[in-house]
Structure 1
């Protein structure tokens, strides 16, 4: 007997170095307990082969995502945005974090789908105020318009994505304490897990950072080299799980969500790095080495760079500029984060530039 096929209105967008199915909340059941099977079926999980061939996923964490967008009742926002991370070989449906890369697609999707009406003319820009329900934080997305929709063509290139597209400026307002309420959730600049000094920071998403030298590895490992280094991956996951418990994100290591905290290896730029690079990082995402770097990890790195005594600040190569922007070298190139701190050292906002593009709109089927 054939399985019953159902469908929902949806769009498919690239946001930064990620892709996701975009769905308006009005097109989903009002009972949120019914969402998980829809999302898993649409993305193609679980897939024991790890390819998600029977759905719109791509077999890696940055391509196994759903974004739900709808009107907001938050006084400082135009839309609510809920990010969902889907397991690939399993049925994990994770609402515990935000995706900074897919945040870049939320404003364009809200405009393109008619959820928001804007009056800006050709070549002008619009700003969409986004309330991320996962972290309860506000993000401003500013992007150009063309023919009444979000512009897709432009001259901004971001490392990890081929070609160029229209720039999208993302300003994360008061990003510290997204899940724990504190920039340093453990109260310490450094904790020690499995004998490795670790900095736990919550800015954009909860993250933990360890130095390559303390893991006896090269900080410039490729994602494939990390994937092949099973002992390293096991060590990182053990540290991440212990950090999660100490950060108050889980009651035990076995109950730690796959998506938070993020963990990354940091190191000081060497002679082979570009002249303007301040820091080298290799990030993990749901147990896999990230091909580039999650935007929220870059936000946390910017915060850690300005926080004395962290594993991040020890690795930062200071530039001759004003120190507000930091260039992070990741596995596919670099990403610049412009962090704004007040006189007392509090993180007020952080800015990054991304691109996004609508790839498809219509109906997504699942079974």
Structure 2
């Protein structure tokens, strides 16, 4: 019996921040996959190795975690004053769908490098030595992101001594600016979709919880750790090994999504795994990170733990870090109160792998809170470049 041969597609496997994924140029995709739709989703599912009932993604490029089941498609920007259009697909591990509802802040750190290396940035804008400012248009959230990519001898500088908790080896620092991260979007309304800094969120089977629901970086539902029986110093094993705990957080996330207006029926949450995120916050406390590093309460402003694609994240999603920084800058949110309250323009929080600092300045305009910019440092590196191979009848 004859079988359809494999096709090979140019691709680059990259780490960005504490995530990694498969990067493509839009024009390198098979023609029918250059537009959103079933063919594109099927291709990316096959590339990553999903859906996999074993949850291992052995027959693909995925790493069986939300941080490693990711894809990126880039092209020259169609938006004035931008260099590159950025599309992010979060690939489900055990289900046959790709979630296009949000951004990946960690992989954003690799977008600028890929764009420069693949000719998507005008060579005249790349210095011989210094920093190349790459202007990114994130098509799904309709936001501008600025990446400051170090350049040495006309090429992207990837090696360096910048250390990022959650990443084993040091690399070159890439500063990322998220412009107007909480500006009104297509979904979810304004920065605070409910109009409140803190809401009473009714969650059937659990009770009524205090919650800050914010649309900044990525829609996120924040709750107090103590109110749900946690300390905020937990590592992944404390939650990811307990199905009842995962179901507990998914229930909170689903009802938060409904309250934020991201879904119209609670059943829709199962098909929208990437957004919103659910996170719990607590005042600073000592703990030992997943690498064995001692984190002291005096080194941080608060502790935050967040779930991504149904599991506690091993560090912190970049977009959720933007939400944390934004919420911390606004007096009265649960994040701000956990950090001690008051006005602030930066926050350092503890996560399972260590700590992270994110800056954000908030102000009130016409009675509404606005944040013009959130800034954080990440790093990125090419892991492999060449081709991915997929069966020709897979898409």
Shift of 1:248: 1.4
Question: Are 1:108 and 1:149, in contact at CA under 8 Å, matched by a contact in 2?
Answer: no
State TM-score, norm by structure 2. 0.88
Q: Verify: 1:145 aligned to 2:151, yes or no.
A: yes
Distance 1:116 1:217, change over 3 A: same
Preserved CA contact (<8 Å) 2:329 2:361 = no
Q: Does the Cα contact within 8 Å between 1:76 and 1:138 map onto a contact in 2? A: no
Structure 1 residues 323 and 308, CA gap change in structure 2 (3 angstroms): closer
Q: Cα distance, 1:61 vs. partner? A: 0.6
Partner of residue 259, structure 1: 274
Residue aligning to 1:225:
238
Of 352, 356, 366, the residue aligned with 1:331 is: 352
Distance change (3 Å), C-alpha of 1:289 and 1:309: same
Taking the aligned partners of 1:250 and 1:205, their CA distance within structure 2 comes to 15
User: Aligned partners of 1:246, 1:89: CA distance in 2, in Å?
Assistant: 27
Q: Distance in 2 between matches of 1:129 and 1:340?
A: 21
Matched, 1:246 2:252: no
Give the secondary-structure state (helix, strand or coil) at the position aligned to 2:303. Answer: strand
1:312 counterpart SS class? helix
Superposed CA deviations along residues 308-367 of structure 1, whole A, max 9, x for unmatched, are 332212211369xx8311101100001100112246452110000000001111111112
Indicate the residue corresponding to 1:340 in structure 2. 361
What is the Cα deviation at residue 196 of structure 1?
1.5
Q: Aligned partners of 1:225, 1:271: CA distance in 2, in Å? A: 16
In structure 1, C-alpha distance between the alignment counterparts of 2:355 and 2:256, rounded to whole Å: 27
Change (3 A) 1:300 1:16: same
Distance 2:278 2:8 in 1: 36
Please list every run of at least 4 consecutive aligned residues from structure 1 whose deviation after the TM superposition is greater than 4 angstroms. none
Number of aligned residue pairs: 365
| 2:301 is the counterpart of 1:278 | yes
Cα distance, 1:71–1:181 mapped onto 2, change above 3 Å: farther
- Over aligned residues, Cα RMSD in angstroms? 1.7
**Counterparts of 2:177 and 2:13, CA distance in 1:** 23
* 1:188 corresponding residue in structure 2: 196
String of CA shifts for 1:235-264, please: whole Å, max 9, x gaps: 211111111112111111111200000111
Q: Distance in 2 between matches of 1:203 and 1:170?
A: 15
Q: Is the 8 A contact 2:100 2:140 kept in 1?
A: yes
**Contact between 1:190 and 1:199, CA under 8 Å: does it hold in 2?**
yes
| Distance in 2 between residues matched to 1:250 and 1:226, nearest whole Å | 26
Q: 2:326 touches 2:361 (CA, 8 Å); kept in 1?
A: no
Tell me what 1:303 maps to: 326
The answer to whether the 8 A contact 1:80-1:133 is kept is yes
- The 5-angstrom pairing of residues 343-358 of structure 1 reads 344=365, 345-358=369-382
Compute the displacement of 1:54 (Å): 0.6
CA contact (8 A) 1:278 1:318 kept: no
Give the 3-state SS of the residue equivalent to 2:96 in structure 1: coil
Unaligned runs of 5+ residues in structure 1 are: none
Residue 219 (structure 1) shift: 1.2
Tell me the SS of whatever aligns to 2:381: strand
Q: Give a deviation string over 1:212-255, Cα, whole Å, max 9, x none.
A: 10101221111111112333222211111111112111111111
Maintained 8 Å contact 1:269/1:317: no
Q: Distance in 2 between matches of 1:162 and 1:343?
A: 40
- 1:77 pairs with 2:82: yes
User: Alpha-carbon deviations, 1:198-223, whole Å to 9, x = none?
Assistant: 11100011000011101012211111
* Mean Cα deviation higher: 188-197 or 98-107: 188-197
Q: TM-score, normalised by structure 1?
A: 0.95
What is the CA-CA distance between 1:181 and the residue it aligns to? 3.6
Secondary structure (helix, strand or coil) at the match of 1:275 reads helix
* Partner of residue 216, structure 2: 203
Q: CA deviation at 1:3?
A: 5.1
2: distance between equivalents of 1:121 and 1:72?
Answer: 20
SS of match in other structure, 2:244: helix
Q: How far has the Cα of 1:31 moved from its partner?
A: 3.8
